Amino acid sequence: MPHLFSKLRMRDVDFANRIGVSPMCQYSSVDGYANDWHFAHLGARAVGGAGLVFTEAAAVTPEGRISPQDLGVWSERHFEPLERIVRFIEGQGARAGIQLAHAGRKGSTYRPGAGNGAVPEAAGGWRPVAPSAVPFSDSYPMPDEMTVDQIHAVHGAFAAAAERAFAAGFRVIEIHAAHGYLNHEFLSPFSNRRVDAYGGSFDNRTRFVRECVAAVRRALPGRCPLFVRISATDWVEGGWDIDQSVELARQLLALGVDVIDCSSGGNVEKAEIPVGPGYQTPFAERIRREANVATAALGMITAPAQADQIIRNDQADIVLLARQMLRDPYWPLHAAQELGQVAPWPRQYLRAAPSGTPERAPAVARSDRAAQPVGT
Ligand SMILES: Cc1cc2nc3c(=O)[nH]c(=O)nc-3n(C[C@H](O)[C@H](O)[C@H](O)COP(=O)(O)O)c2cc1C
């Protein structure tokens, strides 16, 4: 029976356990570049024993950033600092994942604590794009409705970023289609008022996401797992909901998606969300059962026994933790102790580990990614 510390193999990628670090914006980049903060932050969580370490949302175009301080991956050069981070994560026996994102109408907003709503162009902001000219709220910028050419260009940007990410050593690619950002905006009738092939019916509203997934899948080698994070519901009557999510998951599975990462909300300002321990796990469970696809569960998963039960009860294949990983980057090592499981520790820290703890496999030296791609 699989449990939290069972290994997992997906396509050609092995995961040491079922624990992942959920994507978390750090709002610490200049011009989209990763820096020492990202190295220390992501590296610490790989040292902490997670099997999968996701970067924060990485914008595939400059306008696709949420704030001017977001991580970006719209050029080859953006991957240079990321490669060093990937090497370190892999050296700890974890897989490096990247979340590719476009913020849509939620772009050009202040990072938390720096202000509210729209960033003016004079302060480094921009005019965001969206399915329709409908702002997220009164304080958010008014977006421009995307043309079909712009839609195709964004799909191309997702595909180019995915191809570069794999070349840089990332072994999991995730498309962000949740939290009221561009992909989700197309899915939800609250943000999508289009009357062309990208709006109206379920088929039309899901077209943007399906085309995005197909473009990314084509850009990736068959051995690379592809995740899609969705908001399983808008939590508002008449919006995107779990029934539509199940049907979308079936279609994404057929397009070569390996994991549906099940979040919720983010597209309706005043939605009432019943936040509580494991509140989104039922979405992961239902999509897994009804669409017959692997899922990731997330949202207020904090206790080792809780996370372990999600895997043992077949509610999800992977658990992703966000804030708990900020509180405790060594959560996986602590969870193993609490659950009576054995998890390898880094050689450098073995003197502090419980007796009998195995040493983590030594890092694979990779001086040149072109000559020695990870996992091949
Ligand atoms: C600081 C912070 C930044 C976040 N940034 C992202 C992000 O870049 N992409 C994303 O999909 N979710 C993001 N989230 C949401 C988390 O990935 C996660 O879904 C959410 O926090 C619920 O999980 P938790 O209860 O374990 O924190 C962020 C959450 C936090 C706390």
Phi-psi region of 96 (alpha: psi -120 to 50; beta: other; left: phi over 0): beta
Which run of H or of E encompasses 9? strand 8-10
Phi-psi region of 104 (alpha: psi -120 to 50; beta: other; left: phi over 0): left
Q: Tell me what pLDDT residue 362 has.
A: 62
For the segment 324-352, what is each residue's pLDDT rounded down to a tens digit? 999 999 999 999 999 999 999 999 999 99
Find the 23 Cα to ligand 1 centroid distance in Å. 6
Residue 369: pLDDT above 70? no
Q: Which of 21, 24, 275, 327 to mutate to test the pocket of ligand 1 (most atoms within 8 A of CB)?
A: 24
Place 291 in a pLDDT band, splitting at 50, 70 and 90: very high
Place 364 in a pLDDT band, splitting at 50, 70 and 90: low
Domains of the chain: 8-344 (3.20.20.70)
For the segment 90-126, what is each residue's pLDDT rounded down to a tens digit? 999 999 999 999 999 999 999 999 999 899 999 999 9
**Average pLDDT of the residues of the chain:** 95
CA distance 56 to 253: 24
Residue 108: strand, helix, or coil: coil
Q: Which residues are catalytic?
A: 181
Residue 52: pLDDT above 60? yes
CB environment 16-39: b (16+ within 10 A), e (fewer):
bbbbbbbbbbbbbbeebbbeeebb
Compute the average pLDDT of residues 16-45: 98
Compute the average pLDDT of residues 269-276: 96
Q: Which of 19, 21, 25, 319 to mutate to test the pocket of ligand 1 (most atoms within 8 A of CB)?
A: 25
Residues paired with 72 in a beta bridge:
59
Nearest to 50 by CA among 367, 278, 294, 301: 301
Query: Exposed, middle or buried: residue 365 (CB in 10 Å: 0-12, 13-18, 19+)?
Result: exposed
Residue corresponding to tokens 């040493």: 359
CA distance 335 to 330: 9
Provide, rounded to the nearest whole percent, the portion of the chain with pLDDT above 70: 96
Q: Tell me what pLDDT residue 365 has.
A: 46
Q: Tell me what pLDDT residue 363 has.
A: 54
Q: Tell me what pLDDT residue 361 has.
A: 78
For the segment 191-224, what is each residue's pLDDT rounded down to a tens digit? 999 999 999 999 999 999 999 999 999 999 999 9
For the segment 129-170, what is each residue's pLDDT rounded down to a tens digit? 999 999 999 999 999 999 999 999 999 999 999 999 999 999
